[in-house]
Structure 1
Amino acid sequence: MPTSPDVLSVRALNRATLHRQHLIQRSDAMPLDLIQHLVGLQAQMPNPPYVGLWARLEHFHKADLTCLIEERKVVRAALMRSTLHLVTAQDYLELKPLIQPVLERQYRGSYGKQLNGLDPAEVAAAAREILRQQPLNNQDLGLKLQEVWPDHDPHALAQAARNFEGLIHVPPAGTWGHHKSALLSPGEVYLGEAVASRPDLGQLILRYLGAFGPATLKDISVWSGLTSLKPALQERQGVLRTFRDELGRELFDLADAALPDPDLPISPRFLPEFDNLLLSHFDRSRVMDAAAKEKVFTRNGIIRSAVLIDGFVQGLWKVEEGQKGNVLRVQMFQPFSKQDRDMLVQEGLKLLDFVAEEGTENQVQFSGF
């Protein structure tokens, strides 16, 4: 095992990242401030961001996030990796121009051939005028655009608008329990402000390190979807320090960022589906080994709800709601101590109180191995 202070072990990376994610000790920050710190929350589904905030905040209620979305202080849109995120309105305006190359690359790879010969920017401009009149869902927007371009697939036309114009999901889309098709609005129209004219890629890298570091250049690329990051990273060398991981890869970090004791005890935690912690590094060994990853990451793209023991993924969970009570079913990958079991039960009952309808017989049940 390397002993050099310039080499960070897997446990050292685990503790550092969990500390910055507020998963060692819950934060007393306001939800808006935490969302800003985390540079958004993965939000393919409406409920997981709520659970992700609950896992990180000392006092958090569903209405806290719902109000932020309804007041347009937090918005849901395609950003990093061209996937849906909840971000602050301020971050949307800053991030959209930075992430635009990712959105365009994803569109061309998936739909470019279907709109061969058609300028997607022209489609996006037409979509903006249509949606300026009223928000529409993806299907209806595609059909409206097909009236202009009848020889093209309506879904591909709607995707051009999504990726080139930038569309925000209008609430109640993105709020707890809302699973209907989202109504869409152009970001600048919805927020009444223009996106940043001089976005700062270097600052985005620093913010990533503040929430997910220390990290390799590949980690930053995997999180954002962006490539050619090295020049922006080099411009910020004055506020960075470097390490190596146990495989010799170069790690970048903020010069003043805390590095907790690798042996710092950590209480068990429940993470929601698609949690940022599980998706934001190229090498995910700092939070789960290869065997755990196979169980958490499904072939159809779902990232399952995970259980952290000693800071690492060691199980899955799901909630089953019933008329008499609710059950939190926990599937563990390997044996664990009675102390961890007791803490999981305590934390699990709090989770049930947060996610489930009121019940008189809430319980936590274990299976696995």
Structure 2
Amino acid sequence: MGPPLSTRALGRALLDRQLLLRRADLPVVTAVERVFGLNAQGPNQPYVALWSRLDSFTIAGLTAAIEDRSLVRSTMMRATQHLMSVPDFRFVRPVLAPLLRRVRRNTFGRRTAGVDLDALVEEARELLDGRVVTRPQLGRLLARRRPDADPTALGWSVQYLEPLVHPAPSGTWNVYGPTPFARADWTGVRPEATAEDVRRMVRRYLAAFGPASTSDARVWSGVGGLREVFEQLRPELRVYTDESGRELFDLPDRPIPAADLPAPVRLLPEFDATLLAHADRGRIMTDEIRRQVCVGDAIAATVLVDGTVAATWTTSHDDGAAILTVRPLRPLRSWSPADRDAVEAEAARLLAFTHPDAVGHDVRLAG
């Protein structure tokens, strides 16, 4: 067993594996695989996430990878929208199938009582054969044979029960609107996961977010029954403990950066997985700050200072000017002048990226 790891050391390991200690010179698809997917609840979130992680990142670069289907957007971990490479989608989606069926049952079970779900999915596959329709459209089409059923529940049920992707222009920069559905057969996704698929997912999770516990992996994925999988993998993993004595697993070849390694200011989008990948999120934010960042189902866009969440940020417009407002989660007077300067500089660079055509850019520190 390896030595105990401090909370700060765990934080530096997380930042390193999520490409947040230094911007990387990587192709877009390679970067998305390295961090094991990007949350894509909104179309712009993956763009901001990669801007914070990559050198010379461009909007056109990610858009091209979505348009040429190197990356696919679909319902994935925690039953939320993610952007993943096709090879990763191919093996992860079957692992998540039991989770997605459970979410469907809990959310829409009563509203689809009496519906033959196998027949529903088969009809949906026929309707989507060679065409793309939005979720509301699909729900209405399926309701023609089920006049007593809720069209919205039918559309959502198919999204959870059948591997589907949301093709471009959905998921590209500034494109909002109803979610389009398309069949994912072309990806080679299988209907059922193998035991090796589950083990592979755990290894990839540790590569992107480790060292981590069984509970951490369950929180990140939403998948149950992982304790047995970790036990199967134990002989090939390195085992640490954290400051409270909790057992943490990691790949044996992954280094742990020094706890005192400097961490640059970074602005993360809403729902960034760095904040969501562990049951114990102390490595990235305190419990007090977590309560301010994670409110209900929302996860705010955040500012990292010295490797932990120190503020949230939002953008707005005023008479043609783009404004980025930083709201500290601890008293602004406690920030060093160097921290303030670094936050303002990084925010200004982000505004120039997200709003290049604005008549002006203004960074504001509230409080």
Instruction: Say whether the 8 Å CA contact 1:321–1:356 is kept in structure 2.
Output: no
Matching residue of 1:362: 361
When the two chains are superposed, the root-mean-square deviation of aligned CA atoms in Å is: 1.6
Matching residue of 1:346: 345
Residue 252 (structure 2) pairs with residue 218 (structure 1): no
The DSSP-based 3-state class of the residue aligned with 1:317 is strand
Matching residue of 2:184: 187
Question: Unmatched 5+ residue regions in structure 1?
Answer: none
Alpha-carbon distance between aligned partners in 2 of 1:177 and 1:290, rounded to the nearest angstrom: 33
Give the structure-1-normalised TM-score.
Answer: 0.94
Equivalent positions of 1:1-369 (< 5 A) are 6-188=3-185, 191=186, 193-195=188-190, 198=194, 200-299=197-296, 301-334=297-330, 335-368=334-367
Question: Unmatched 5+ residue regions in structure 2?
Answer: none
Alpha-carbon distance between aligned partners in 2 of 1:151 and 1:361, rounded to the nearest angstrom: 54
Alpha-carbon distance between aligned partners in 1 of 2:93 and 2:58, rounded to the nearest angstrom: 29
Amino acid at match of 2:300: R
Instruction: Say whether the 8 Å CA contact 2:73–2:166 is kept in structure 1.
Output: yes
Instruction: Say whether the 8 Å CA contact 1:321–1:357 is kept in structure 2.
Output: no
Instruction: Say whether the 8 Å CA contact 1:325–1:358 is kept in structure 2.
Output: no
Post-superposition offset of 1:148: 1.6
Post-superposition offset of 1:183: 1.6
Instruction: Say whether the 8 Å CA contact 1:121–1:160 is kept in structure 2.
Output: no
Instruction: Say whether the 8 Å CA contact 1:9–1:245 is kept in structure 2.
Output: yes
Instruction: Say whether the 8 Å CA contact 2:93–2:189 is kept in structure 1.
Output: no
Post-superposition offset of 1:193: 3.2
Moved more, 202-211 or 165-174: 165-174
Residues 210-262 of structure 1: CA deviation (Å, up to 9, x unaligned): 10011010000011111111222222223211111112211011111110111
Residues 173-200 of structure 1: CA deviation (Å, up to 9, x unaligned): 1111011112211211xx3634376451
Instruction: Say whether the 8 Å CA contact 1:170–1:182 is kept in structure 2.
Output: no
Structure 1 pair 260/176, CA: closer, same or farther in 2 (3 Å)?
same
Structure 1 pair 12/315, CA: closer, same or farther in 2 (3 Å)?
same
Aligned residues: 362
Moved more, 159-168 or 47-56: 159-168
Alpha-carbon distance between aligned partners in 2 of 1:98 and 1:272, rounded to the nearest angstrom: 26
Instruction: Say whether the 8 Å CA contact 1:7–1:244 is kept in structure 2.
Output: yes
Residues 105-160 of structure 1: CA deviation (Å, up to 9, x unaligned): 10011111222233322211110101114211111111111112222111111122
Give the structure-2-normalised TM-score.
Answer: 0.95
Alpha-carbon distance between aligned partners in 1 of 2:262 and 2:238, rounded to the nearest angstrom: 26
Alpha-carbon distance between aligned partners in 2 of 1:278 and 1:216, rounded to the nearest angstrom: 15
Alpha-carbon distance between aligned partners in 2 of 1:149 and 1:5, rounded to the nearest angstrom: 58
Amino acid at match of 1:303: I
Amino acid at match of 1:227: G
